[in-house]
Amino acid sequence: MNHFFFKHAIELAQKGLGHTLPNPAVGAVVVKENKIVARGWHKKAGERHAEIVAMDEARAAGTDLKGASLYITLEPCRHYGRTPPCTDRIVQEGIARVFMGMRDPFERVNGRGMAVLKEKGIDVQCLKKGSPLYREVADLNQPFIKWTNTSLPYVTMKAACTLDGKIATRAGSSAWITGEQARSDARRERSMCDAVLVGSGTVRADNPELAAHGEYTGKSLLRVIFDPSLTLPTTMKVFRDANVLVATTGRALEQAGQAYAERGIETRAFGATRVSIKQLLQYLGQRSIQHVFVEGGAGVHGSVFEEALLDPLIIDRVLWYMAPMLFGGKSALSAIGGTGVESVPSAFRIPHMDVTHLGVDLKLSGRINVY
Protein backbone atom coordinates (compact mmCIF):
# COMPACT_ATOMS: atom_id res chain seq x y z
CA MET A 1 0.00 0.00 0.00
CA ASN A 2 1.57 3.24 -1.19
CA HIS A 3 0.55 6.43 0.64
CA PHE A 4 1.56 8.61 -2.31
CA PHE A 5 -1.11 7.02 -4.50
CA PHE A 6 -3.70 7.43 -1.74
CA LYS A 7 -2.81 11.11 -1.39
CA HIS A 8 -3.41 11.57 -5.10
CA ALA A 9 -6.78 9.79 -4.86
CA ILE A 10 -7.74 12.17 -2.03
CA GLU A 11 -6.79 15.20 -4.15
CA LEU A 12 -8.98 13.87 -6.96
CA ALA A 13 -11.92 13.31 -4.60
CA GLN A 14 -11.70 16.92 -3.45
CA LYS A 15 -12.60 18.05 -6.97
CA GLY A 16 -16.09 16.61 -6.46
CA LEU A 17 -16.79 18.20 -3.07
CA GLY A 18 -20.13 19.98 -3.08
CA HIS A 19 -21.18 18.54 -6.45
CA THR A 20 -22.15 14.92 -5.76
CA LEU A 21 -25.27 15.02 -3.51
CA PRO A 22 -26.57 12.56 -2.41
CA ASN A 23 -23.40 10.61 -3.20
CA PRO A 24 -20.04 11.02 -1.47
CA ALA A 25 -17.00 12.57 -3.12
CA VAL A 26 -14.63 9.80 -4.28
CA GLY A 27 -11.27 9.71 -6.03
CA ALA A 28 -9.46 6.77 -7.63
CA VAL A 29 -6.13 5.99 -9.29
CA VAL A 30 -5.10 2.87 -11.16
CA VAL A 31 -1.48 1.82 -10.71
CA LYS A 32 0.53 -0.64 -12.80
CA GLU A 33 4.23 -1.36 -12.42
CA ASN A 34 4.33 1.30 -9.71
CA LYS A 35 3.09 4.05 -12.06
CA ILE A 36 -0.28 5.79 -12.24
CA VAL A 37 -1.88 4.75 -15.53
CA ALA A 38 -5.35 6.24 -14.99
CA ARG A 39 -7.27 8.43 -12.57
CA GLY A 40 -10.82 9.59 -11.96
CA TRP A 41 -13.24 11.20 -9.56
CA HIS A 42 -16.99 11.19 -9.11
CA LYS A 43 -18.33 14.42 -10.59
CA LYS A 44 -22.08 14.26 -10.10
CA ALA A 45 -24.79 11.86 -8.89
CA GLY A 46 -25.98 9.71 -11.78
CA GLU A 47 -22.67 9.98 -13.59
CA ARG A 48 -19.84 7.43 -13.56
CA HIS A 49 -18.22 6.58 -10.24
CA ALA A 50 -14.56 7.42 -9.70
CA GLU A 51 -13.19 3.94 -10.36
CA ILE A 52 -15.22 3.60 -13.57
CA VAL A 53 -13.91 6.94 -14.83
CA ALA A 54 -10.36 5.78 -14.13
CA MET A 55 -10.82 2.39 -15.80
CA ASP A 56 -12.51 4.00 -18.81
CA GLU A 57 -9.52 6.34 -19.14
CA ALA A 58 -7.15 3.36 -19.06
CA ARG A 59 -9.20 1.47 -21.66
CA ALA A 60 -9.28 4.54 -23.93
CA ALA A 61 -5.48 4.68 -23.74
CA GLY A 62 -5.22 0.99 -24.63
CA THR A 63 -3.86 0.02 -21.20
CA ASP A 64 -4.36 -3.58 -20.08
CA LEU A 65 -5.44 -3.46 -16.42
CA LYS A 66 -4.89 -7.13 -15.68
CA GLY A 67 -2.79 -7.37 -12.53
CA ALA A 68 -3.09 -3.62 -11.77
CA SER A 69 -3.83 -2.01 -8.40
CA LEU A 70 -6.75 0.30 -7.69
CA TYR A 71 -6.44 2.98 -5.01
CA ILE A 72 -9.84 4.40 -4.08
CA THR A 73 -10.94 6.61 -1.20
CA LEU A 74 -14.20 4.72 -0.58
CA GLU A 75 -15.33 1.12 -0.89
CA PRO A 76 -16.63 0.25 -4.39
CA CYS A 77 -20.37 -0.36 -4.65
CA ARG A 78 -21.83 -3.77 -5.48
CA HIS A 79 -25.45 -2.81 -6.09
CA TYR A 80 -27.45 -1.29 -8.92
CA GLY A 81 -28.37 2.34 -8.37
CA ARG A 82 -28.32 4.93 -11.13
CA THR A 83 -25.20 3.10 -12.37
CA PRO A 84 -24.19 -0.61 -12.41
CA PRO A 85 -22.09 -2.19 -9.62
CA CYS A 86 -18.48 -1.00 -9.73
CA THR A 87 -17.30 -4.34 -8.32
CA ASP A 88 -18.40 -6.11 -11.52
CA ARG A 89 -16.22 -3.88 -13.66
CA ILE A 90 -13.21 -4.25 -11.33
CA VAL A 91 -13.44 -8.02 -11.60
CA GLN A 92 -13.98 -7.84 -15.38
CA GLU A 93 -10.84 -5.74 -15.89
CA GLY A 94 -8.67 -8.20 -13.95
CA ILE A 95 -7.66 -5.75 -11.21
CA ALA A 96 -5.47 -7.72 -8.77
CA ARG A 97 -5.42 -5.43 -5.71
CA VAL A 98 -7.85 -2.87 -4.31
CA PHE A 99 -6.64 -0.47 -1.64
CA MET A 100 -9.63 1.28 -0.01
CA GLY A 101 -9.55 4.38 2.15
CA MET A 102 -12.59 3.31 4.19
CA ARG A 103 -15.75 1.27 4.08
CA ASP A 104 -18.80 2.94 2.61
CA PRO A 105 -21.21 3.39 5.58
CA PHE A 106 -24.23 3.32 3.25
CA GLU A 107 -26.21 0.21 4.23
CA ARG A 108 -26.38 -1.21 0.69
CA VAL A 109 -22.58 -1.21 0.47
CA ASN A 110 -20.97 -1.32 3.96
CA GLY A 111 -18.56 -4.24 3.60
CA ARG A 112 -20.46 -5.93 0.78
CA GLY A 113 -18.31 -4.49 -1.97
CA MET A 114 -15.18 -5.63 -0.16
CA ALA A 115 -16.65 -9.12 0.35
CA VAL A 116 -17.54 -9.53 -3.34
CA LEU A 117 -14.03 -8.58 -4.44
CA LYS A 118 -12.43 -10.95 -1.95
CA GLU A 119 -14.67 -13.78 -3.14
CA LYS A 120 -13.30 -13.21 -6.65
CA GLY A 121 -9.73 -13.60 -5.41
CA ILE A 122 -8.84 -9.91 -5.38
CA ASP A 123 -6.51 -8.72 -2.61
CA VAL A 124 -8.48 -6.05 -0.71
CA GLN A 125 -6.92 -3.85 1.97
CA CYS A 126 -8.39 -0.90 3.90
CA LEU A 127 -6.65 1.90 5.76
CA LYS A 128 -6.61 1.44 9.52
CA LYS A 129 -9.07 3.54 11.49
CA GLY A 130 -7.23 6.14 13.50
CA SER A 131 -4.32 6.46 11.10
CA PRO A 132 -3.57 9.98 9.78
CA LEU A 133 -4.34 8.95 6.20
CA TYR A 134 -7.65 7.35 7.22
CA ARG A 135 -8.56 10.64 8.93
CA GLU A 136 -7.90 12.53 5.68
CA VAL A 137 -10.13 10.12 3.77
CA ALA A 138 -12.95 10.34 6.34
CA ASP A 139 -12.69 14.14 6.41
CA LEU A 140 -13.65 14.23 2.73
CA ASN A 141 -17.19 13.12 3.47
CA GLN A 142 -18.10 14.11 7.02
CA PRO A 143 -21.64 15.21 5.99
CA PHE A 144 -22.26 11.94 4.10
CA ILE A 145 -20.96 9.83 7.01
CA LYS A 146 -23.08 11.66 9.59
CA TRP A 147 -26.22 11.55 7.45
CA THR A 148 -25.74 7.86 6.68
CA ASN A 149 -25.23 6.93 10.33
CA THR A 150 -27.75 9.25 12.02
CA SER A 151 -30.19 10.35 9.25
CA LEU A 152 -29.35 13.94 10.25
CA PRO A 153 -27.53 16.49 8.11
CA TYR A 154 -24.14 17.85 9.07
CA VAL A 155 -24.48 21.41 10.40
CA THR A 156 -22.00 24.25 9.91
CA MET A 157 -22.77 27.48 11.80
CA LYS A 158 -21.20 30.54 10.20
CA ALA A 159 -20.81 34.13 11.38
CA ALA A 160 -18.85 37.22 10.36
CA CYS A 161 -18.08 39.39 13.37
CA THR A 162 -15.74 41.88 15.01
CA LEU A 163 -13.11 40.95 17.57
CA ASP A 164 -15.65 41.68 20.31
CA GLY A 165 -18.12 39.26 18.74
CA LYS A 166 -20.52 41.77 17.20
CA ILE A 167 -22.34 41.18 13.91
CA ALA A 168 -23.84 44.71 13.73
CA THR A 169 -23.47 48.10 15.39
CA ARG A 170 -26.02 49.38 17.90
CA ALA A 171 -27.77 51.08 14.95
CA GLY A 172 -27.93 47.80 13.00
CA SER A 173 -25.20 48.57 10.45
CA SER A 174 -23.34 45.45 9.29
CA ALA A 175 -22.11 45.98 5.69
CA TRP A 176 -19.33 45.10 5.51
CA ILE A 177 -17.58 43.75 8.60
CA THR A 178 -15.17 41.48 6.76
CA GLY A 179 -13.24 42.11 3.55
CA GLU A 180 -13.93 40.75 0.08
CA GLN A 181 -11.51 37.83 0.49
CA ALA A 182 -13.34 36.57 3.57
CA ARG A 183 -16.77 37.17 2.01
CA SER A 184 -15.74 35.27 -1.11
CA ASP A 185 -14.51 32.36 1.00
CA ALA A 186 -17.77 32.32 2.96
CA ARG A 187 -19.80 32.23 -0.27
CA ARG A 188 -17.74 29.26 -1.46
CA GLU A 189 -18.24 27.47 1.87
CA ARG A 190 -22.00 28.00 1.58
CA SER A 191 -22.05 26.88 -2.04
CA MET A 192 -20.47 23.54 -1.13
CA CYS A 193 -23.42 22.74 1.16
CA ASP A 194 -26.85 21.38 0.27
CA ALA A 195 -29.01 23.89 2.14
CA VAL A 196 -28.60 27.31 3.71
CA LEU A 197 -30.59 28.33 6.82
CA VAL A 198 -31.25 31.98 7.61
CA GLY A 199 -33.73 33.88 9.75
CA SER A 200 -36.59 36.07 8.59
CA GLY A 201 -34.78 39.09 10.07
CA THR A 202 -31.81 38.56 7.78
CA VAL A 203 -34.08 38.15 4.75
CA ARG A 204 -36.06 41.27 5.64
CA ALA A 205 -32.95 43.38 6.26
CA ASP A 206 -30.75 42.23 3.35
CA ASN A 207 -33.16 40.64 0.83
CA PRO A 208 -30.42 38.13 -0.12
CA GLU A 209 -30.56 35.67 -3.01
CA LEU A 210 -28.74 32.92 -1.06
CA ALA A 211 -27.50 31.45 -4.32
CA ALA A 212 -24.50 29.25 -5.04
CA HIS A 213 -21.45 31.06 -6.45
CA GLY A 214 -18.28 30.49 -8.44
CA GLU A 215 -17.77 26.95 -9.71
CA TYR A 216 -21.07 26.04 -8.02
CA THR A 217 -23.16 28.62 -9.91
CA GLY A 218 -26.44 27.02 -10.92
CA LYS A 219 -26.30 24.42 -8.17
CA SER A 220 -29.67 23.72 -6.56
CA LEU A 221 -29.13 25.07 -3.04
CA LEU A 222 -32.19 24.68 -0.81
CA ARG A 223 -33.00 27.94 0.98
CA VAL A 224 -34.47 27.34 4.43
CA ILE A 225 -36.06 30.37 6.08
CA PHE A 226 -36.54 30.34 9.86
CA ASP A 227 -39.76 32.32 10.32
CA PRO A 228 -41.72 31.34 13.46
CA SER A 229 -44.34 34.06 12.87
CA LEU A 230 -44.63 33.64 9.08
CA THR A 231 -44.45 37.38 8.43
CA LEU A 232 -42.12 37.69 5.42
CA PRO A 233 -43.54 39.17 2.19
CA THR A 234 -43.56 36.56 -0.55
CA THR A 235 -41.93 39.07 -2.92
CA MET A 236 -38.48 38.63 -1.34
CA LYS A 237 -35.70 37.24 -3.56
CA VAL A 238 -35.47 33.98 -1.61
CA PHE A 239 -38.95 33.09 -2.92
CA ARG A 240 -37.93 33.40 -6.58
CA ASP A 241 -38.51 29.69 -7.24
CA ALA A 242 -39.79 26.56 -5.51
CA ASN A 243 -36.43 25.52 -4.02
CA VAL A 244 -37.25 27.07 -0.67
CA LEU A 245 -38.67 25.90 2.65
CA VAL A 246 -40.13 28.15 5.35
CA ALA A 247 -39.73 26.62 8.80
CA THR A 248 -42.48 27.94 11.04
CA THR A 249 -44.87 27.03 13.86
CA GLY A 250 -48.29 25.45 13.87
CA ARG A 251 -49.93 28.62 15.18
CA ALA A 252 -48.42 30.80 12.41
CA LEU A 253 -49.28 28.27 9.73
CA GLU A 254 -52.95 28.36 10.70
CA GLN A 255 -53.03 32.14 10.59
CA ALA A 256 -50.92 33.01 7.54
CA GLY A 257 -50.17 29.83 5.63
CA GLN A 258 -52.68 30.40 2.85
CA ALA A 259 -50.76 33.32 1.32
CA TYR A 260 -47.66 31.18 0.98
CA ALA A 261 -49.61 28.22 -0.38
CA GLU A 262 -51.09 30.41 -3.10
CA ARG A 263 -47.53 31.28 -4.22
CA GLY A 264 -46.49 27.60 -4.17
CA ILE A 265 -44.04 28.19 -1.32
CA GLU A 266 -43.50 25.20 0.96
CA THR A 267 -44.20 26.00 4.61
CA ARG A 268 -43.93 23.45 7.36
CA ALA A 269 -44.47 23.63 11.12
CA PHE A 270 -41.75 22.16 13.33
CA GLY A 271 -43.49 22.77 16.63
CA ALA A 272 -46.68 24.30 17.94
CA THR A 273 -45.36 27.63 19.21
CA ARG A 274 -41.58 27.49 18.58
CA VAL A 275 -39.49 25.97 15.81
CA SER A 276 -37.67 22.82 16.87
CA ILE A 277 -34.25 22.71 15.23
CA LYS A 278 -34.04 18.96 15.80
CA GLN A 279 -37.36 18.35 14.01
CA LEU A 280 -36.25 20.62 11.17
CA LEU A 281 -32.97 18.72 10.78
CA GLN A 282 -34.79 15.39 10.84
CA TYR A 283 -37.05 16.57 8.03
CA LEU A 284 -34.11 17.84 5.98
CA GLY A 285 -32.35 14.52 6.50
CA GLN A 286 -35.41 12.73 5.14
CA ARG A 287 -35.04 14.88 2.02
CA SER A 288 -31.43 13.67 1.62
CA ILE A 289 -30.01 17.04 2.64
CA GLN A 290 -26.59 16.16 4.04
CA HIS A 291 -25.01 19.53 4.86
CA VAL A 292 -26.81 22.59 6.22
CA PHE A 293 -25.07 25.98 6.34
CA VAL A 294 -26.49 28.14 9.12
CA GLU A 295 -25.83 31.86 8.66
CA GLY A 296 -28.97 33.22 10.14
CA GLY A 297 -28.08 36.07 12.48
CA ALA A 298 -28.24 36.24 16.26
CA GLY A 299 -31.77 34.89 16.63
CA VAL A 300 -31.34 31.75 14.52
CA HIS A 301 -27.87 31.14 15.93
CA GLY A 302 -29.30 31.43 19.43
CA SER A 303 -32.02 28.88 18.69
CA VAL A 304 -29.55 26.43 17.13
CA PHE A 305 -27.02 26.96 19.92
CA GLU A 306 -29.50 26.39 22.75
CA GLU A 307 -30.66 23.09 21.25
CA ALA A 308 -27.02 22.13 20.69
CA LEU A 309 -26.40 22.52 24.42
CA LEU A 310 -28.88 19.66 24.93
CA ASP A 311 -28.07 17.55 21.85
CA PRO A 312 -24.46 17.14 20.63
CA LEU A 313 -25.62 16.27 17.09
CA ILE A 314 -27.14 19.70 16.39
CA ILE A 315 -23.90 21.59 15.53
CA ASP A 316 -20.92 19.85 13.95
CA ARG A 317 -18.74 22.76 12.90
CA VAL A 318 -18.45 26.49 13.53
CA LEU A 319 -17.05 28.85 10.91
CA TRP A 320 -16.20 32.30 12.24
CA TYR A 321 -14.80 35.14 10.14
CA MET A 322 -13.35 37.80 12.44
CA ALA A 323 -12.42 41.32 11.36
CA PRO A 324 -9.83 43.43 13.21
CA MET A 325 -12.33 46.00 14.49
CA LEU A 326 -14.39 46.68 17.62
CA PHE A 327 -18.01 47.87 17.80
CA GLY A 328 -18.71 47.84 21.51
CA GLY A 329 -22.14 48.64 22.91
CA LYS A 330 -24.39 46.38 24.96
CA SER A 331 -27.21 46.81 22.44
CA ALA A 332 -25.04 45.85 19.45
CA LEU A 333 -25.96 42.37 18.23
CA SER A 334 -23.66 39.50 19.15
CA ALA A 335 -23.13 36.52 16.86
CA ILE A 336 -25.23 34.22 19.04
CA GLY A 337 -28.41 35.42 20.73
CA GLY A 338 -30.70 33.57 23.10
CA THR A 339 -30.14 32.90 26.78
CA GLY A 340 -26.64 31.44 26.64
CA VAL A 341 -24.87 29.37 29.26
CA GLU A 342 -24.88 30.20 32.94
CA SER A 343 -21.32 29.31 33.94
CA VAL A 344 -17.89 28.83 32.38
CA PRO A 345 -17.93 25.04 32.96
CA SER A 346 -21.15 24.93 30.90
CA ALA A 347 -19.48 26.55 27.88
CA PHE A 348 -19.85 24.95 24.47
CA ARG A 349 -16.34 23.73 23.78
CA ILE A 350 -14.74 23.33 20.37
CA PRO A 351 -11.97 20.72 20.51
CA HIS A 352 -10.57 21.02 16.95
CA MET A 353 -9.78 24.52 15.66
CA ASP A 354 -7.95 25.75 12.54
CA VAL A 355 -7.07 29.41 11.98
CA THR A 356 -6.33 30.96 8.57
CA HIS A 357 -5.59 34.54 7.50
CA LEU A 358 -7.76 35.94 4.70
CA GLY A 359 -6.33 39.37 4.06
CA VAL A 360 -6.62 41.23 7.36
CA ASP A 361 -9.43 38.94 8.56
CA LEU A 362 -9.23 35.62 10.38
CA LYS A 363 -11.07 32.44 9.40
CA LEU A 364 -11.65 30.17 12.38
CA SER A 365 -12.92 26.70 11.49
CA GLY A 366 -13.78 24.60 14.51
CA ARG A 367 -14.95 20.99 14.38
CA ILE A 368 -17.12 19.84 17.24
CA ASN A 369 -18.04 16.37 15.99
CA VAL A 370 -15.72 14.10 14.03
CA TYR A 371 -17.35 11.14 12.26
CA separation for the pair 293, 306 (Å, rounded):
17
Classified as helix, coil or strand, 309 is coil
pLDDT of residue 91: 94
- Residue 26's pLDDT is 97
pTM of the model: 0.93
Residue 296: per-residue pLDDT: 82
308 known ligand binder:
no
pLDDT at 205: 86
Summarised one tens digit per residue, pLDDT across range 62-76 is 999 999 999 999 999
Asked: is 3-140 a CATH 3.40.50.2300 domain? The reply is: no
For residue 133, the tally of other CB atoms under 10 A from its CB is 15
Q: Strand, coil or helix: what is 278? A: helix
Q: Where are the beta strands (DSSP E) in the chain?
A: 27-32, 35-41, 69-72, 97-100, 123-126, 154-162, 195-199, 222-226, 244-248, 266-269, 291-294, 317-323, 352-358, 361-367
Beta-sheet strand order (sheet of 244-248): 266-269, 244-248, 222-226, 195-199, 291-294, 154-162, 317-323, 361-367, 352-358
What is the CATH code of the structural domain delimited by 149-367?
A: 3.40.430.10
**Residue in 317, 334, 330, 331 with CA at minimum distance from that of residue 165:** 334
Residue 299 known to bind ligand: yes
Q: Is 202 annotated as a binding residue?
A: yes
Low-confidence ranges of the chain (pLDDT < 70): 79-83
Contact by Cβ (8 Å): 97, 122: yes
Of the listed 11, 33, 51, 57, which one is catalytic?
51
Is 136 part of the annotated catalytic residue set?
no
CA atoms of 225 and 140, how far apart (whole Å): 28
Q: In the chain, what are the domain boundaries?
A: 3-140, 149-367
49 marked as binding residue:
yes
Quick one: pLDDT at residue 80? 66
